[in-house]
Amino acid sequence: FEPKLPAKKQPYSITQSIQNCTLTMAFICSWIIIFRVMIGFIVKWFLWRLPETTHAFIIGSLELSNGIYLLKSTSEIGLKFIMCSFMLACGGTCILLQTKQVIGALSIKPYLAGKATQTAVSITLSIIFVSLLKKSIPLNAVLLILISLLLLVISLDNVKKYVAFSFKMIYNKTNTSAR
């Protein structure tokens, strides 16, 4: 009886890398196309009666670039700055689904907690910045600050504070005997 040795891993080829990159880009582009078609449908059938600012906010929550483009019609520069800050920090549902596609079987929860934290901090700082420029803080800005801080507290409470590695890295090579 001879012990069975583990199969030696084949080196990763450039062909496999190109195939994986092409497949990943196809998935990402597919999400962009799906959201572009969905936004066209939503705009035509549901959002046509809403104000342009609300229109931009809803579209920006779905897909980042279209939402920011629609902010051009918003006349209030402070509101435009805060909404742009929200959209850039949040990223939208399309980017969330693209990220989920790329990370595969990994949990999306830490990403969501990080995005919620980033969005809360971004909105809070933007409101403070705009308020300092205008030298006044309106009631709706105070409410947005409170909501942002609430999101921050909720997201920080759900973040796990540890990282575990199951192997030891030595000079960019994996040492499997250290397990």
pTM: predicted TM-score of the whole model, two decimal places: 0.65
Give the C-alpha separation, 59 to 90, whole Å: 12
Nearest 5°: the CA angle 20, 23, 28 is 125
Closest residue by Cα to residue 95 from 155, 32, 8: 32
Mean pLDDT of all residues in 103-110: 85
Mean pLDDT of all residues in 19-33: 90
pLDDT, position 136:
62
- Whether 107 has a pLDDT exceeding 50, the answer reads yes
Q: State pLDDT tens for residues 143-168.
A: 677 777 777 777 666 655 555 555 55
The better pLDDT of the pair 134, 102 is held by 102
Looking up tokens 């939402």 gives 67
Count CB-CB contacts under 10 A for residue 104. 6
Q: Taking the CA of residue 93 as centre, how many other CA atoms within 13 Å lie in the half-sphere pointing to its CB?
A: 11
As a whole number, the mean pLDDT across the chain is 79
Give the C-alpha separation, 119 to 89, whole Å: 5
Mean pLDDT of all residues in 75-82: 88
The better pLDDT of the pair 35, 131 is held by 35
pLDDT, position 85:
92
Burial 78-95 (b: 16+ CB within 10 A, else e): bbbbbbbbbbbbbbbebb
Distances in whole angstroms, Cα of residue 61 to Cα of each of 80, 100, 116: 14, 17, 13
pLDDT, position 142:
65
User: If DSSP codes are grouped into helix, strand and coil, which group holds residue 60?
Assistant: helix
The better pLDDT of the pair 121, 7 is held by 121
Residues 6+ apart with CB under 8 A from 89: 115, 118, 119, 121, 122, 123
pLDDT, position 179:
46
Closest residue by Cα to residue 96 from 50, 41, 28: 28
The better pLDDT of the pair 84, 164 is held by 84
